[in-house]
Amino acid sequence: MNNMRQVMAQAQKLQAKVAEVQKELENRDVTGSAGSGSVEVVMSLKGLVKSVTINKDIINAEEKDLLEDLIVAALNDAKVRADAIYEEEMRAATGGFGLPGTM
């Protein structure tokens, strides 16, 4: 019976740690880029795009398709970075023990 209480206490501590890390991660951003930094996207770790910056030297009406592709690439880069940071932080918080709902 005492062992079960210890397991429950550890589970509650782990749950509190995960919640704490999740809250901290809500306030973190990542920057994704494409075209050697010609297009940059700032995104929250939850995937909310906060800004898009385009170097004025690449803006050319005749290369609209290229610019659109660079924006998509920068968005995807930011998302991959955000997911990696989130996963790394959750793995650290849980000691590598995967919990449902942490990613």
Q: Which amino acid is at 81?
A: R
pTM: 0.71
CA–CA gap between residue 31 and residue 8 (Å, rounded): 39
Tell me the DSSP string of 14-83. HHHHHHHHHHHHHT-EEEEEETTTTEEEEEETTS-EEEEEE-GGG--GGGHHHHHHHHHHHHHHHHHHHH
Q: Which residue, among 35, 78, 24, has the nearest Cα to 59 in the 3D structure?
A: 35
Q: What kind of fold does domain 2-94 have according to CATH?
A: Ybab; Chain: A; (3.30.1310)
Enumerate the domain spans of the chain.
Answer: 2-94
What does the pLDDT profile of the chain (103 residues) look like in tens digits?
688 888 888 888 888 888 888 888 888 999 999 999 999 999 998 888 999 999 999 899 899 899 999 999 999 999 999 999 999 988 888 887 765 555 5
Residue 8 DSSP one-character state: H
